[in-house]
Structure 1
């Protein structure tokens, strides 16, 4: 069986270069779900595969039909990509698989009792808040898109997260306030609550040890922004 993570990288790179993707899409659609779950044998390859598939689906769908973004609820909820014979929405990939079916309406604290069997089969074993600095839904405030690999995804996610936080976090020592990306409010539970957010900021050198400033959140710019790619292997800046 061809490595599905490698296939997802090929898909994303082909979308980036505006190359034909029919063969890759057909291969992903034909994957056996049991073999897919077995081949993505721990969270690292699962993160790489599903982040790549999500980001490729967004760029492909909106590049030719940007008007779809005008109704974001429908755009995120409608099926956009087929994997293992399953028609999947962006919400299904993000919240069902990558976030283990924790509701997007509860700040990430409550797991949905109405779960999809395919989502459960393919889901990561633990939520990783770094996905919020890797998934690109098409908005200006989203992080750059990069191709995540099986062998380097942990390092790549650290680079992506550290870079995004460096660009966006604002710590005002005098005011006793730190302003952070709004995804840290929307998915607070993914970060382990407020205490987890402080720990996360310290982990990425965005907050000194021993301080607990008030949290505020940047507004999210939903303006459509496509083609914002970066190559973490080469430490490139996002394309303008």
Structure 2
């Protein structure tokens, strides 16, 4: 059975890749209730699928409007479940389990918001950093 939220993340990624209008899907992401998102993404595999697709899609969307490569990662322009995230929040807070963006990022950061803490993966997968770096170079669709 397909997961609604991972399917939504795949759809927004496909539309972002074709450089079409993603506004209706981004609106859906914003109005998702965080409690429903948490229940739907009940395993680390589903969380990684959803968030890697979202990361990839918003990297494409934001990079069209932003010429400064560094600000792409820091700008909180991703609106999901009535919260705002940056690409760094998704990578280091959610996918890398609340780590500092410092060196190798092995240190726990207690200052992340409750939304990020509740949506983050349960077990850190050290391959995430390399998967996300390759996303910025060549865009791929993650399918679960």
Q: Give me the TM-score of the superposition, normalised by structure 2.
A: 0.90
Aligned to 2:17: 16
- Tell me which structure has the larger Cα radius of gyration: 1
Indicate yes or no: 2:86 matched with 1:89.
yes
**Quick one: distance in 1 between partners of 2:135 and 2:49?**
19
SS in 1 for 2:93: helix
In 2, distance between residues paired with 1:106 and 1:134? 17
In structure 2, the residue matched to 1:146 is 140
* Cα pair 1:95 1:103 within 8 Å, conserved: yes
Structure 1: how far apart are the matches of 2:97 and 2:60? 24
Distance 1:85 1:129 in 2: 29
Structure 1: any 5+ residue segments left out of the alignment?
151-240
* Shift in alpha-carbon separation, 1:106–1:132, aligned structure 2, 3 A: closer
What number of residue pairs does the alignment pair up? 142
Cα displacement (A) at 1:78:
1.3
Q: Does the Cα contact within 8 Å between 2:91 and 2:129 map onto a contact in 1? A: no
**Secondary structure of 1:67's aligned partner:** coil
Is 2:72 the partner of 1:75? yes
Matching residue of 1:215:
none
Gaps of 5+ in 2: none
2-structure distance, mates of 1:92, 1:137 = 18
Is 2:104 the counterpart of 1:111? no
Equivalent-residue separation in structure 1 for 2:135 and 2:11 (angstroms): 20
Which residue in 2 is equivalent to 1:46? 47
CA deviation profile, 1:17-56 (whole Å, cap 9, x unmatched): 1222111111111110011011001000100100111111
Task: Give the RMSD, CA atoms, in angstroms.
Answer: 1.8
> 1:53-83 deviations in whole A, cap 9, x for unaligned?
11111111112x34132xx1x3321112110
Over 4 Å off, 4+ runs: 136-139
Whichever structure has more strand as a proportion of its residues is 1
The verdict on how the C-alpha distance between 1:40 and 1:29 changes in structure 2, with shifts beyond 3 A counting, is: same
